Structure 1
Amino acid sequence: MEVDNNKYIDHLRSYYTTVLSQIITNDGRFLLAAIKNRQLAVFSVEKCLKEFHRDVVELIPNNNGDDLVSNFLSHQNRRRPINVFPMERITCLHSMQTANKMKTFHSDSQYRFIVGGVGRLKTYRLSMQNLDECEQEWMIKLPSDSTMINAITMAGENRIVAGCEDANIYTFDCETQQQTAKFSEHNDYIHSLKCSNHDSASPLLYSCGEDGRILGWDYRSSNKPIISLEPFRNPELRRTQYGKWIGSIDVTDNNEWIVCGGGPKLSLWHLRSAKCAHIIDTPGVVYSTRFIADNSKVMAAGTANQVIIWQLNDPMNPQHIDSSINTIYSIGYHHYDKFDYDLYSFSGDSYQIEVCKNAKFIDWKLYVS
């Protein structure tokens, strides 16, 4: 029997696929996934919602009878990408505000997002009017061409922040693409960044890294941290077998609470007192954490084929979602205001992206390859 080597290699490649980062667009219609083999995959979340949940069908308009997405999808392929764009090496993604700021399903939306790689940041625009094109808008070069970007966030509306493997954090002006600041208090590479609500009285930038430190910065006026936490020094959190690194952080909009995970146990800290308020002993390390549901819950994932959810008002009874992904690197979340509906997505060292709507079990899967 003759074997088609190309088909065999494509089949084998699917088991070595890794999704490094993923985002759900601001209107909830699409999911963008950064694949380790230098590709960007675009999925239609809207189509999956219509297919799997009848209660949503009537709540999403048909775009005046002209459904652009249906031109790219057959019934059998709704869980595969609409399109896959070749890219330079991608390490992380971050969404920028859509041209249409209303969280509705309109065909004239334009999606802008930031791609982090090695030595450079790029912004792209994907238009609903032309789903087969992903247009680069501009590029920012880092001081070194070999510096890998591990994390991206936005500080306010016009600052892009990049956390890098050289242990530095750089900020850039969106309009001029010029570097505006550099933060250098970490002594090992950066894993995660988070900026609190820029509409608050005192917006802060938070960072964490391989050195095990969590630092908070007033990015508007100083390049010295005003907050410093070291979870690995807490005997109740320390896990020497995993190390002291902090892989992910998230902060409530009011700068009251921060959740962090990595080598030490998953923990919740009160920022004003700098005290650890609660600990969740996860079975493995944590690579992704985030507050969800108006900051009333925490969701975290990493190794051990498990997503953990716990409510801040009931931290002693965490819930678990079983996952087929061995290591989850990214959690996507979107709340649909129009019909009070939450959607979650998980990706990592798998060719599948898992999606659920009830935070209890996986409802369906998207296939990268």
Structure 2
Amino acid sequence: MLDKMLYNTILSQTYSPCGKYLVAGNIYGQLAVFDLVNIFNPVVEQITSDFNKPKHIHLLESESQICSLVTTDKFLIAGTVNEISGWDWKAILSSKLTKPSWTIKIQPQSLIEKCDINCLWYKKDEGKLYAGCGDNKIYAYNLEDGSLVSTYEGHSDFVHCLHSNGQQLISAGEDGLVLLWDLRVKKSYNKIEPHTNSKIARPDIGKWVGAAALGDDWIVCGGGPRLSLWHLRSLDAVTVFDIPDHGIHVSFFQDDCVFAGGAAKHLYQLSYSGDVRVELPVSATTVYSAVYRTSPHKVLAIAGSSPEIDICTSFNYRDQVLHFR
């Protein structure tokens, strides 16, 4: 029997609140828990051949693909198909996974039978969880009681990503739209359509936008259209990044740079003006997740269409490769 884990695709990652553990979710409904302390500081005499493999692999009861992960101080939250579930971190770190502490069901009002929860964003100051879904909507839930607080409608196809900065939220979707929201209002107040810009459009790849992020003064987004930097107030495209990708799924701001990856051989670190500062080789043929943390370790974890997760403490090279198998 062919080992399906050789064809593993990791869609999502997050760190534990203490930063000592990395959790990754795959297309088979599995959660892998990696002990970063032992990985970064191994006892030489006790190193075994599987020290870079998961401490635990948990299989969700639904076995639905784990599209998105996010953490709070108390819970690991997973978005799968038609539902969002939260586990106490103690349960995640134990050898056997119990039933979730709570579950939120999402029931699309359209003819869609299955609704992927493609992205999750937690706003700690509000205690709210935002979910971008396959029914083209964004839902906001109060995590104290699981109640639905708001529904944001504006996309005409499924939502790929969410990112927030203050009271602003940005979303991007398969419809090629990048929408800006004031979280106090249920309608978007502005939008970008990268595929309508001739310098950015790539009709052969598509108009979908797979990643978007907000900075204080900037927006970075990409997907089928090229990765591009936009001025937040004027919504003018300032920089079109010249990198050899076939679709962007990850983009974020860090240390006055843009990080981006997707269907390419590298994760890129770029200046706002478009200079390539670092081309970081990656194991995955397509990157679907890259998560960064500064404490207790400075670490970037990169994952995608591969059973391997690349770990970097310096953005110039891979320090280690973890194995989700």
Partner of 1:161: 130
Contact 1:125 1:134 in 2 (8 A): no
Amino acid at match of 1:160: L
Pairwise CA RMSD of aligned residues? 2.1
Deviation string for 1:266-285 (max 9, x for gaps)?
A: 01111111111211122121
Q: Is the 8 A contact 1:93 1:113 kept in 2?
A: no
Q: Deviations over 1:235-274 (max 9, x none)?
A: 110111111110011112x3x2111110011011111111
Question: Which segments of 5 or more consecutive residues in structure 1 lack a partner in the other structure?
Answer: 55-72, 100-111, 198-202
1:334 aligns with 2:296: no
1:211 aligns with 2:179: no
Out of 246, 261, 264, the residue aligned to residue 304 of structure 1 is 264
User: Match of 1:181?
Assistant: 150
Match of 2:120 among 152, 161, 175: 152
Separation in structure 2 between the aligned mates of residue 27 and residue 261 of structure 1, nearest angstrom? 31
**Secondary structure of the corresponding residue to residue 350 of structure 1:** coil
Q: Alpha-carbon deviation of 1:363?
A: 1.4
Is 1:167–1:186's contact at 8 Å kept on the other side of the alignment?
yes
User: Aligned to 2:254, which of 269, 292, 295?
Assistant: 292
C-alpha contact (below 8 Å) 1:250/1:290 kept by paired residues = yes
**2:119 touches 2:131 (CA, 8 Å); kept in 1?**
yes
Name the counterpart of 2:279.
320
Take 2:93 and 2:37, find their aligned partners in 1: how far apart are those partners? 17
Q: What is the aligned counterpart of 2:73 among 89, 98, 105? A: 98
- TM-score normalised per structure 2: 0.90
- 1:1-369 equivalences under 5 Å are 9=2, 12-51=3-42, 75-87=48-60, 88=62, 89-99=64-74, 112-127=75-90, 131-135=94-98, 136-144=100-108, 146-155=114-123, 156-197=125-166, 203-220=167-184, 222-252=185-215, 254=216, 256-284=217-245, 285-293=247-255, 296-312=256-272, 315-336=274-295, 342-369=298-325
Bigger radius of gyration: 1
TM-score by length of 1: 0.80
Change (3 A) 1:81 1:229: same
Amino acid across the alignment from 1:139 = T
Q: Secondary structure at 1:176's aligned position in 2? A: coil
SS in 1 for 2:4: helix
**Stretch deviating more after TM superposition (145-154 or 302-311):** 145-154
Q: Secondary structure at the match of 1:14?
A: helix
How far off its partner does 1:90 sit? 3.3
Q: 1:343 to 1:176 in 2, by over 3 A?
A: same
Report the AA paired with residue 28 of structure 2: N
Instruction: Give how far 1:96 is off.
Output: 2.8
What is the aligned-residue identity percentage?
28
User: Higher helix proportion, which one?
Assistant: 1
